């Protein structure tokens, strides 16, 4: 992070200018998207739930003050990343949404007040009337939807992005808590049961003991292990994992006989489902708080992990009146628990090298059980964090774990520090065999190996990223295989992956590789020789370019050869320009291609400079050209716009809250009418559509004399 970005990150939201808010909004969105991928797709998070929640809270605060920054790419508008391609996709009959969170008693009271105001507005509820809430412990597992027709289990899917999930029916059929045929009365003819797949703590510990005894890597925690077990391509592997299931909600239900959530839970038990016994109907705010405290006290002794309590308005008709906002219902909320902590001895600190060369210090700990998870390592983030904490080998340290994530070290216990300890000195040379110098970026927060792609650690990590799910997604070529192939000289650069079919005889001779596994690998590689432009861009690992930005770039440039030519031109133009190019200056003065790059949505000067630096390195360009010889990169199909389109060549901006449609739907309709939708107002803007609680964009439009219209006028125009 640059010095300027660090300053903005330290600002309170109400101190920010719109430009500072835009920069911080982008940084937070990118960081949240990165952690979403790790959590939902790889089951391998790297920050705590509490840290993640703080990121989302700050993003929401910025969007509340600057609603014009909300767009389709914001994490607040999404449920989870797009499902992966390892399983068939399943479209949910009704979306599986996530919940908003409350972290304090004040935030809980805010939820209760909003519910009451909403019901008083939407119904004839009297001010002193009782609002019953169904309260239940929040299971820390993997959300699942089960489809039943005529009482028979026919299909099961993960939540995915909320609209589309992964078909894991065969694996779900191995879980004993999921009935294959329902019993009892009033079973809907067709309906979806929603719930959570989880693993109990003792079962997880026993599974890990077997892993270690077999010389295999121990799993991190029950939630990730449950998620990974359910995503096994072989159901027999899933069957060997001790998975459990709690049911707690529904999706589509025809016909629906129940009128309250608590009534539905009773029916679930009659039909043969397990429901969480830690469930209670609370009729007052005091009862709700007492239940939260009680569950919090019982949490350490429970057989499974929970990370909070969920409150739902019990009456279904009231739920329907309250409705939804963005990605969550207005009638429910998750009240999260504070982070769990424990003390253990720090055995040492070692350095890991990532695909971008960043050196990350990791704490090697004496294993300790924190909330049912055995913790042996924790990230120390960077050199500044070690300096701030002043943790040393031999220290007794305080470890915090929130939910199901890799823990963080909060500090050391002074009175238990050994007499002779030495401060940790961050290495000046990379621990890779080349021992190349370590360089600090501006501000000194991140320190990187200067070896670039010559560094074997970086080469392996880049190859791992290249074949990962959101990139080329090559099944059967996991991280261990990548490392082994690299060490033995079968792989060095990404293009070598597509030369592996010519080396199948060598692979077949390796331990653990038979005819079937080799043939499956070759087929998986061949299947990926045609790739979309956005996945191709994302797989290259260009600094600051993730999945969302890669999609935007693909839309902007359309064709891989045009994109490559423009990136090379932009890199040459930037190399000749002064180092202090800023947004205030006309970036077009640097060069036409560089200026165009800077003005692509979600790409500013900082990201453009990172891209230019990447394409200034000859070996990066050679890697891309090598891949181009072996792959078919699909061009982006752009929507054709009729010559007489109503808004052809017009520039449209939406600001404020839209009540009759989502922002995404409004933008999509504007594009169908031929308009280009942007996020900022300028003299070139043709039209600004003003919703409720509009901010500075509406004022700026008035100042510049740009045409504005209300949401109602826009609906009439766009019909």
Query: Looking at the domain assignment, is residue 87 inside a domain?
Result: no
Nearest to 221 by CA among 244, 198, 240, 238: 198
The CATH number for 43's domain is 1.10.287.610
Q: What pLDDT is stored for residue 583 in this prediction?
A: 46
DSSP conformational letter for 577: S
Specify the long-range contacts of residues 553-558, CB closer than 8 Å, at least 24 apart. Answer: 553/600, 553/603, 554/636, 555/636, 555/638, 556/600, 556/601, 557/533, 558/533, 558/635, 558/636, 558/638
Structural domain contains residue 84: no
Dmax over Cα atoms in the chain, in whole Å?
A: 81
Who contacts 376 (Cβ-Cβ below 8 Å, separation ≥6)?
A: 218, 364, 365, 366, 367
pLDDT reading at 585 higher than 70: no
Same domain for 165 and 27: no
The reply to whether 155 and 283 lie within a common domain is yes
Quick one: pLDDT at residue 280? 95
Q: How far is the C-alpha of 344 from the C-alpha of 365, rounded, in Å?
A: 7
pLDDT digits (tens, 9 = 90+) for 487-527: 888 999 999 999 999 998 888 888 878 888 889 899 999 99
706 and 566 assigned to the same domain: no
Assess whether pLDDT exceeds 70 at residue 285. yes
> According to the model, what pLDDT value does residue 43 have?
53
Tell me which of 127-131, 464-468, 547-551, 555-559 is least confident. Answer: 547-551
Distance CA 222, CA 242 (A): 10
Percent of the chain with pLDDT over 90: 28
Indicate the pTM of the whole model: 0.48
Range with lowest mean pLDDT among 50-64, 311-325, 410-424, 562-576: 50-64
Q: Residue 72's pLDDT is what?
A: 56
d(CA 3, CA 8): 9
Confidence grade of residue 286 (pLDDT, cut at 50, 70, 90): very high
**Average pLDDT over every residue of 351-361:** 86
CATH at residue 120: 3.30.470.30
Residue 88 lies inside a defined structural domain of this protein: no
Given a cut of 90, whether residue 692 has pLDDT beyond it is no
Same domain (yes/no): 157, 298: yes
Q: What is the CATH number of the domain that holds 381?
A: 2.40.50.140
Query: Which one of 450, 482, 501 terminates a domain?
Result: 450
Write down the pLDDT at residue 595: 84
Residue 674 maps to a domain:
yes
Mean pLDDT of the region 2-29: 72
What is the per-residue pLDDT for 57?
79
24 and 60 inside one domain = yes
Looking at the structure, tell me whether residues 433 and 490 fall in a common domain. Answer: no
Which position has the higher pLDDT, 362 or 666?
Answer: 362
CB-based contact 543:610 (threshold 8 Å): yes
> Higher model confidence: residue 244 or residue 692?
244
Structure tokens, 489? 């000289």
pLDDT the model gives residue 131 = 93
Of 682, 608, 620, nearest to 651 (Cα)?
682
Query: Do 197 and 303 belong to one domain?
Result: yes
173 noted as active-site residue: no
Name the average pLDDT for the chain.
Answer: 83
Going by C-alpha positions, the residue among 181, 179, 159, 154 that lies closest to residue 169 is: 154
Say if residue 699's pLDDT is above 60. yes
Say yes or no: 114 and 73 in one domain: no
pLDDT of residue 46 exceeding 70, the answer is no
- Average of per-residue pLDDT across 659-687: 76
What is the predicted pLDDT for the residue at 404? Answer: 43
In a domain, 316, yes or no: yes
Question: Residue 372's pLDDT is what?
Answer: 55
The CATH number covering residue 482 comes to: 1.10.150.20
Q: Which of 401, 420, 450 is the last residue of a domain?
A: 450
How far apart CA 33 and CA 27 sit, in angstroms, is 10
pLDDT exceeds cutoff 60 at 442: no
* pLDDT tens string 289-343: 999 999 988 887 888 988 899 999 999 999 988 888 766 889 999 998 877 777 8
642 found inside a domain: no
Express each pLDDT in 608-665 by its tens digit.
888 998 899 888 899 999 999 999 999 987 656 566 678 887 888 888 877 667 776 7
Task: Tell whether 639 is covered by a domain.
Answer: no
Residue 473 and residue 425 in one domain: no
User: What is the tens place of the pLDDT at every residue in 111-155?
Assistant: 999 999 889 888 888 888 899 999 999 998 899 999 999 999 999
Which of 413, 433, 450 is at the close of a domain?
Answer: 450
Tell me, yes or no, whether 122 lies in a domain: yes
Q: Which range (31-40, 82-91, 339-348) has the least confidence?
A: 82-91
Q: Which pLDDT score, from 0 to 100, does residue 584 have?
A: 44
pLDDT tens digit sequence for 223-271: 888 888 887 877 888 888 899 999 999 998 888 889 999 999 999 999 9
pLDDT at 201: 85
The total number of structural domains in the chain stands at 6
Q: Could you tell me if 153 and 267 lie in one domain?
A: yes
- If asked whether residues 443 and 502 sit together in one domain, one would say no
Backbone phi and psi for residue 117, each to the nearest 5 degrees, phi listed first: -60, -40
Note the helical H segments in 577-604. 592-598
Query: pLDDT tier at 373 (50, 70, 90 boundaries)?
Result: low
- Position 536 pLDDT exceeds 90: yes
The answer on 133 and 225 residing in a single domain is yes
Question: What is the predicted pLDDT for the residue at 378?
Answer: 87
Q: Which domain holds residue 629?
A: 533-634
Q: How far apart are the first and last CA of the chain?
A: 45
Phi, psi dihedral angles at 432 (to 5 degrees): -70, 165
pLDDT band, residue 403 (cuts 50/70/90): very low
Active-site residue identified among 60, 78, 138, 697: 138
Tokens representing residue 61 in the block: 């605060």
């Amino acid at each position: 992070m640059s010095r300027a970005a660090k300053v903005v990150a330290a600002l309170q939201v109400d101190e920010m200018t719109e430009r500072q808010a835009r920069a911080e909004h982008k940084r937070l969105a990118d960081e949240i998207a990165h952690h979403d991928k790790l959590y939902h797709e790889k089951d391998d998070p790297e920050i705590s739930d509490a840290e993640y929640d703080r990121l989302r809270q700050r993003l929401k605060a910025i969007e509340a003050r600057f609603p014009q920054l909300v767009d389709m790419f914001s994490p607040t508008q999404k449920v989870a990343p797009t499902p992966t391609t390892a399983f068939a996709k399943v479209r949910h009959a009704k979306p599986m949404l996530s919940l908003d969170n409350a972290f304090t008693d004040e935030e809980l009271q805010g939820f209760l007040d909003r519910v009451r105001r909403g019901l008083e507005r939407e119904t004839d509820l009297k001010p002193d009337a009782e609002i019953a809430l169904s309260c239940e412990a929040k299971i820390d597992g993997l959300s699942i939807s089960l489809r039943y027709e005529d009482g028979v289990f026919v299909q099961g899917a993960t939540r995915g992005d909320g609209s589309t999930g992964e078909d894991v029916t065969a694996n779900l059929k191995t879980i004993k808590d999921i009935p294959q045929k329902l019993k009892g009365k009033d079973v809907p003819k067709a309906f979806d049961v929603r719930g959570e797949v989880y693993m109990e703590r003792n079962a997880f510990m026993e599974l890990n003991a077997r892993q270690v005894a077999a010389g295999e890597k121990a799993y991190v925690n029950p939630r990730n292990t449950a998620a990974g077990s359910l995503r096994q391509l072989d159901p027999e592997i899933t069957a060997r994992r001790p998975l459990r299931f709690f049911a707690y909600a529904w999706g589509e239900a025809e016909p629906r006989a129940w009128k309250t959530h608590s009534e539905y839970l009773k029916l679930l038990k009659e039909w043969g489902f397990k429901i969480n016994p830690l469930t209670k109907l609370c009729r007052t705010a005091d009862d709700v708080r007492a239940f939260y405290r009680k569950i919090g006290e019982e949490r350490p002794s429970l057989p499974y992990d929970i990370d909070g309590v969920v409150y739902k308005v019990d009456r279904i008709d009231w739920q329907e009146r309250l409705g939804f906002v963005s990605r969550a219902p207005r009638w429910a909320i998750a009240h999260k628990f504070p982070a769990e902590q424990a003390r253990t001895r720090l055995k040492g600190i070692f350095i890991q090298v990532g695909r971008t060369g960043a050196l990350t210090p990791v704490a090697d700990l004496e294993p300790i059980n924190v909330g049912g998870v055995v913790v042996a390592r924790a990230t120390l983030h960077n050199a500044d964090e070690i300096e701030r904490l002043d943790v040393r080998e031999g220290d007794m340290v305080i470890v915090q774990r929130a939910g199901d994530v890799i823990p963080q070290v909060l500090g050391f216990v002074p009175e238990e520090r050994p007499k002779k300890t030495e401060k940790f000195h961050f290495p000046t040379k990379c621990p890779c065999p080349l021992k190349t110098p370590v360089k600090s970026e501006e501000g000194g927060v991140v320190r990187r190996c200067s070896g670039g792609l010559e560094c074997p650690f970086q080469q392996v990590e880049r190859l791992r990223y290249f074949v990962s799910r959101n990139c080329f997604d090559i099944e059967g070529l996991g991280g261990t295989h990548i490392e082994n192939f690299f060490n033995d000289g079968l792989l060095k650069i990404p293009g070598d992956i597509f030369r592996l079919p010519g080396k199948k005889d060598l692979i077949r001779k390796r331990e653990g590789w038979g005819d079937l596994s080799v043939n499956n690998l070759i087929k998986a590689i061949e299947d990926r020789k045609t790739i979309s432009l956005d996945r191709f861009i994302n797989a290259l690992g260009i600094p600051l370019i993730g999945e969302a930005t890669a999609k935007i770039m693909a839309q902007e440039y359309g064709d891989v050869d045009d994109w490559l030519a423009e990136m090379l031109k932009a890199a040459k133009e930037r190399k000749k320009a002064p180092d202090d190019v800023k947004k205030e200056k006309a970036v077009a003065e640097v060069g036409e291609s560089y200026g165009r790059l800077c003005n692509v949505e979600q790409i500013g000067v900082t990201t453009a400079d990172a891209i230019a630096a990447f394409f200034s390195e000859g070996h990066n360009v050679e890697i891309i050209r090598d891949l181009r010889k072996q792959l078919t990169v699909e061009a982006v199909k752009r929507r054709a716009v009729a010559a007489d389109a109503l808004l052809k060549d017009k520039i449209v901006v939406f600001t404020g809250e839209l009540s009759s449609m989502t922002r995404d739907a409004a933008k999509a309709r504007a594009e169908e009418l031929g308009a280009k939708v942007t996020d900022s107002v300028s003299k070139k803007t043709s039209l600004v559509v003003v919703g409720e609680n509009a901010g500075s964009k509406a004022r700026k439009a008035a100042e510049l004399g740009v045409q504005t219209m209300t949401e109602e006028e826009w609906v009439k125009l766009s019909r």
